Structures are given as C-alpha cells and as structure tokens.
C-alpha cells in the first residue's frame, strides 16, 4: 500500500477502505508517513469529506493508536462528558458532583485552556493543593472510594490525535466535521466510559458557528459512540455569549460553588442540569423526567455540594475553600467597565470576551505562559438586559494593572447595544440521542 495512492483516491472523491485508513494512522504515528503527506490527506478530507463508515473507521484507528483506559471494574456505571469548548464553561465542576452523588462513576480526563476557551484542569488547579496529575493507582483508588476523579490527559492515550490535532492546527484543517468528530470520539472511546454525553456548542465562542453545523457534528459523534456500544447523546447549546457570569479560573470555580449552593446564574444551572439529566437517564436507563427530578434534588438538597467538597479534598485540594470561597486568590487590581450610552444589550460576543479574559492573565498567550488564577471578568449585565449610560457592565480582575486598557477595549468590542429589546435566544437548541 502507498500513502500517495490514498491521498490521490481521497483527492479525487473516493471512499477509503478500512485497511487504507488503518495503514495511514499506523504509518503517521510510527513516523513512516511524514507530516507533508498527512497534511495533504487532511486537506483532501477537508474538501471531499468522509462517509459515515470512513469517519467511524478513522475514529477506531485513532482510538487504538495508543493506550486505552480499562474501566470495566466499575461495570456499566461509568460516565463521561465532553464540551467542544467555550467561554465561562465550568459545567464539569457542577455536573461531575451532581451525577457522582447519584451513584454514577465519573473517571475523567480533561484538558487545559485552548485559545480563548478555558480548560477544566486549569480551573481545578486554582484550588490550593489540588492535584491534577494522579498516578493511575491513585486515580483508580479515588474513583473506587468516592466515584469521581478528574485528571489531565496523561500517558500514551490517542497519540494519533495528538499528532494530527497539532498538524491540523497549523494547516487550516481543524474545522472539518469528520476530523473533529474522529478527534473527539477517539479520545472518549479510549478513555473507557460506558455513557458519553457531549455538549456541542455553537456560536461566536465555539468552533461551530451555527446551530445547523453543530447539529451535523453532534449527529456524527452520537452515531459513532452508539455504534461502538457506548450510550451516547449530545446536547447542542448556545455559545453566542459566555455561560454564567464569571470568566477566569478561580472566578469560575467560585461561580460553580455558588450553583452547587443552589444560587447562581440560571443559564449555567440549566445547561448543567440538562447535561446531568442526560447522563443519569442514559446510564440508569430511566426517563429524562425521572432523571431530571433526581438531578434537581441532588442540587437543592446540598448532596452535590458535599460530593464536590469530598472530591476536592480527595485530590489534595483545600476543602475549606469550598465552604469559604473568599479564600480563593484575589486579584491585586479591579476595574469597572461602564456603558457609554443607554440601550439593550443585543450581543455579548463570547470569543471577544474570552480573549479579553486571556489578556487579563486568565489564559496563555504562548504555550509556556503562567496563568494568573485570580484574573478574569465578572459580568454585571447579560444579553437582553437594559443598561443606562454609566452603568457597570462588568468588573475586570488582574494582577497586571497595565492589562486593563487593552482588555477593556476588547470587552467593549464584544458588546452591541440597541434601542429595541432583543428576542430571547434559545439556550438549548436540541438534544440528539
């Protein structure tokens, strides 16, 4: 078999066989196929697309390109969630304790912030002492004991995705549905959970800019998961605006604690309850109405909050911070952004707000940057609210005073004011099962 023939076949609109896809993935991982041939094939896939069967084969070849996690000792209770990435997205911090307080087992790997989007691992590390690099023995022992553990991606899991993702990032081939679907699902399959719920985001802060393309991606991933014997569903959610009110690592953990105390932003609570309901319903085989009642009860009874504290403490974090969030690191400086005229907020562009938060120190501009855990933004107003000239739109937090000028400009570029109250946008577009 020659990789040249595989590239040519795809370029000319052909359908690759299982053997050809396996040959490509094996050769790319062991280095016999160079980057330039892999990029040519990615570009051909970007233009020509892949059939369902090809996408499934690509996913399986990538999932088996390295180690896989064996969670079989936990039976069929293992659950996982995946968000395609957004701004203010702290849902894992809330969903994990809700579902594990209900007996689901969440043994999960999460990522760090990427570009303008935040990452669960960075957020968890804002809690003093929290260890995101447990050894496999510590990881399994904790899951066994309390039903939840979240660590960074470790070991030799899906090396094909690691290589291909980095290549796609620099060859303008990220936003291809078969390539995204296989990238995400290969990692989820290798991570071993029986139930997988995907939060597929659309809008300015997401990879998929429209609900229609998000739906196409969601359907592809759900099909792959179900065909591989995993209970899979996808919730398509709005990322035109940030989720909740807080953006930035410590600020987001504090907001998650607020929701677990049954307070906090309604949009954030609703997305979390919807995701948790899907997880509980699929893993237990019960109706969504029953699962919703259970997840709401876990939240309002305080059981999810107790589980959160248990989880934080088990992973070495200071559990007192959960009871007293004032202990989280505080930024040296704050700055209030004011409205410059009257009007209704018609738009709060999530991507621009994510970038403003990175400029304040909450994310990395380069791979090796250190994060300012206290940095970020708390929104005072959201899309649909009326503001009068001089009202505070948001407070910016940073240990670098010089960052405020640029971040304020970027923040204001995200806001659009109109004279007429805008229509309410749907928060949950669709659920695909």
Which residues are marked as active site? 82, 161, 168, 183, 187
Q: Which residues pair with 159 in a beta bridge?
A: none
> Is residue 183 within the footprint of ligand URA (CB under 6 A)?
yes
Alpha helices (H) in 88-173, listed in sequence order: 91-101, 120-124, 136-146, 159-169
Distances (CA, A) of 336 to 61, 241, 244, 393: 51, 20, 18, 7
- Site pattern 100..139 for ligand URA (x: CB under 6 A): ----------------------------------------
> Is residue 200 within the footprint of ligand URA (CB under 6 A)?
no
CA 231 from centre of chain: 19
Q: How far is the CB of 345 from ligand URA (least distance, A)?
A: 29
55/142 with CB nearer ligand URA: 55
Q: Which stretch binds ligand URA (CB under 6 A): 124-132, 138-146, 180-188, 282-290?
A: 180-188
Q: Which helix (H) or strand (E) holds 199?
A: strand 195-202
Distances (CA, A) of 74 to 103, 228, 320, 392: 11, 18, 30, 49
Q: How far is the CB of 60 from ligand URA (least distance, A)?
A: 16
Q: Which stretch binds ligand URA (CB under 6 A): 92-100, 177-185, 376-384, 410-418?
A: 177-185
Q: Which stretch binds ligand URA (CB under 6 A): 54-62, 176-184, 246-254, 285-293?
A: 176-184
Q: Which stretch binds ligand URA (CB under 6 A): 7-15, 17-25, 172-180, 278-286?
A: 172-180
Alpha helices (H) in 285-402, listed in sequence order: 288-300, 303-314, 320-323, 350-357
Backbone angles phi, psi at 285, to 5 degrees: 70, 35
Q: How many residues bind ligand URA (CB under 6 A)?
A: 8
84/295 with CB nearer ligand URA: 84
84/132 with CB nearer ligand URA: 84
Near ligand URA in 368-387, by CB under 6 A: none
> Is residue 84 within the footprint of ligand URA (CB under 6 A)?
yes
Q: Which helix (H) or strand (E) holds 180?
A: helix 177-191
Running DSSP on this structure, what letter comes out for residue 204? T
* Residue nearest ligand URA by beta-carbon distance: 183
Q: How far is the CB of 180 from ligand URA (least distance, A)?
A: 4
* CA–CA dist 115, 351 (Å, integer): 9
* CA–CA dist 425, 139 (Å, integer): 40
In sequence order, the 6+-apart residues with CB closer than 8 A to the CB of 12 are none
Residues 101-123 as b or e (16 or more Cβ within 10 Å = b): bbebbbbbbbbbbeebbbbbbbb
Q: How far is the CB of 84 from ligand URA (least distance, A)?
A: 6
- Residue 32 buriedness (CB in 10 A; 0-12 / 13-18 / 19+): exposed
Q: Which of 184, 272, 353, 396 binds ligand URA (CB under 6 A)?
A: 184
162/284 with CB nearer ligand URA: 162
Sheet holding 415-418, edge to edge: 386-387, 343-348, 415-418
207/404 with CB nearer ligand URA: 207
174/427 with CB nearer ligand URA: 174
84/142 with CB nearer ligand URA: 84
- The total of other beta-carbon atoms located within 10 Å of residue 403's CB is 20
Q: How far is the CB of 187 from ligand URA (least distance, A)?
A: 6
Q: Which of 180, 198, 221, 414 binds ligand URA (CB under 6 A)?
A: 180
Q: Which residues pair with 114 in a beta bridge?
A: 117
213/400 with CB nearer ligand URA: 213
Q: How far is the CB of 305 from ligand URA (least distance, A)?
A: 30
Helix, strand, or coil here: 81?
strand
Q: Which stretch binds ligand URA (CB under 6 A): 149-157, 179-187, 223-231, 281-289?
A: 179-187
> Is residue 43 within the footprint of ligand URA (CB under 6 A)?
no
Where on the chain is the footprint of ligand URA (CB under 6 A)?
A: 84, 165, 174, 179-180, 183-184, 207
């Amino acid at each position: 078999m020659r990789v040249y023939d595989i590239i040519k076949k795809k370029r000319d609109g052909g359908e690759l066989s299982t053997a050809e896809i396996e040959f490509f993935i094996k050769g790319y991982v062991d280095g016999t196929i160079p980057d330039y041939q892999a990029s040519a094939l990615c570009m051909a896939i970007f233009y020509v697309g892949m059939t369902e069967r090809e996408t499934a084969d690509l996913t399986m070849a990538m999932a088996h390109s390295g180690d896989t996690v064996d969670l079989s000792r936990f039976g069929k209770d293992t659950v996982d969630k995946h968000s395609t990435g957004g701004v203010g997205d702290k849902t894992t911090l809330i969903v994990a304790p809700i579902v594990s307080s209900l007996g689901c087992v969440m043994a999960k790997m999460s990522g760090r912030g990427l570009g303008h989007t935040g990452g669960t691992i960075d957020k968890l590390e804002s809690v003093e002492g929290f260890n995101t690099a447990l050894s496999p023995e510590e990881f399994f022992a904790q899951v066994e004991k309390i039903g939840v553990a979240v660590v960074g991606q470790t070991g030799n899991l899906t090396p094909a995705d690691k290589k291909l993702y980095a290549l796609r990032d620099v060859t303008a081939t990220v936003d291809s549905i078969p390539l995204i679907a296989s990238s995400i699902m290969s990692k989820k399959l290798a991570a071993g959970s029986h139930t997988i719920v995907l939060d597929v985001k659309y809008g300015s802060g997401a990879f998929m800019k429209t609900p229609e393309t998000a739906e196409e991606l969601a359907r592809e991933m759900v099909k792959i998961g179900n065909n591989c014997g995993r209970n899979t569903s996808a919730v398509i959610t709005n990322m035109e605006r940030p989720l909740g009110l807080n953006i930035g690592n410590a600020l987001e953990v504090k907001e998650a604690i607020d929701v677990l105390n049954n307070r906090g932003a309604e949009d954030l609570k609703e997305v979390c309850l919807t995701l948790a309901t899907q997880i509980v319903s699929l893993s237990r085989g019960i109706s969504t109405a029953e699962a919703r009642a259970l997840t709401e009860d876990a939240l309002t009874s305080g059981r999810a909050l107790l589980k959160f504290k248990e989880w934080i403490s088990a992973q070495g974090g200071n559990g007192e911070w959960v009871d007293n969030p004032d202990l989280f690191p505080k930024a040296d400086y704050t700055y209030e952004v004011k409205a410059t005229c009257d009007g209704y907020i018609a738009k709060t562009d999530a991507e621009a707000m994510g970038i403003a938060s990175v400029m304040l120190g909450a994310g990395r501009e380069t791979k090796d940057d250190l994060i300012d855990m206290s940095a970020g933004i708390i929104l005072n107003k959201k899309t649909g609210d009326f503001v009068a000239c001089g009202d505070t739109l948001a407070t910016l937090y940073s240990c670098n005073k010089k960052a405020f000028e640029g971040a304020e400009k970027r923040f204001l570029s995200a806001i659009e004011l109109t004279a007429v109250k805008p229509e309410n946008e749907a928060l949950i577009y669709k659920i695909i099962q």
